[in-house]
């Protein structure tokens, strides 16, 4: 069982997934900083000095913080756009690879031998 577990963990897909999760978390932190520290203050200034993190509505005892929802929506849009650009780039690379003509495969030893026999027979008959 230990060997199977080791084989599973060392499989390329699992390692790639682990790396993707770590990079995704780091990317998430960058996007969070980008939205909190750059985009939302600019949007707030454009809308007359609104601080989105403090926007809320009091309904009875509950406080509905719709400003946090607006920030989360901006996070989502930025991440979705970045992923769209990545997927678009990967798709264009795949299309380029598919469009490139493949070199014809090398003839097998049998084909080479048959070609030599054909050439010898043609030389004999001539």
Each domain of the chain, given as residue ranges in start order, spans 2-90
Phi, psi of 61 (to 5 degrees): -85, -15
pLDDT by residue for the chain (126 residues), tens digit each? Answer: 888 877 776 776 777 788 888 888 888 888 888 888 888 888 878 877 777 777 888 888 888 888 888 888 888 888 888 888 888 988 888 888 777 777 788 889 999 999 999 999 999 887
**Which numeric CATH code is attached to 2-90?**
1.10.1200.120
CA–CA gap between residue 75 and residue 36 (Å, rounded)? 9
Give per-residue pLDDT as tens, 62-97.
888 888 888 888 888 888 888 888 889 888 888 887
Say what the pTM is.
Answer: 0.53
* Cα–Cα–Cα angle for 81, 37, 44, rounded to 5 degrees: 85
CA distance 75 to 81: 10
Cα–Cα–Cα angle for 34, 93, 9, rounded to 5 degrees: 75
């Amino acid at each position: 069982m230990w060997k199977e577990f080791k084989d599973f963990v060392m499989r390329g897909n699992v390692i790639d997934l682990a790396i993707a999760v770590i990079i995704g978390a780091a990317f998430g932190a960058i996007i969070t900083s980008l939205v909190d520290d750059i985009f939302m203050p600019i949007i707030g200034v454009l809308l007359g000095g609104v601080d989105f993190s403090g926007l809320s509505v009091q309904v009875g005892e509950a406080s509905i913080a719709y400003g946090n929802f607006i920030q989360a929506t901006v996070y989502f849009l930025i991440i979705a756009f970045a992923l769209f650009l990545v997927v678009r780039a990967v798709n264009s690379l795949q299309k380029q690879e598919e469009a490139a003509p493949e070199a014809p495969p090398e003839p097998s030893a049998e084909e080479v031998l048959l070609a030599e026999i054909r050439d010898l027979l043609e030389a004999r008959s001539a």
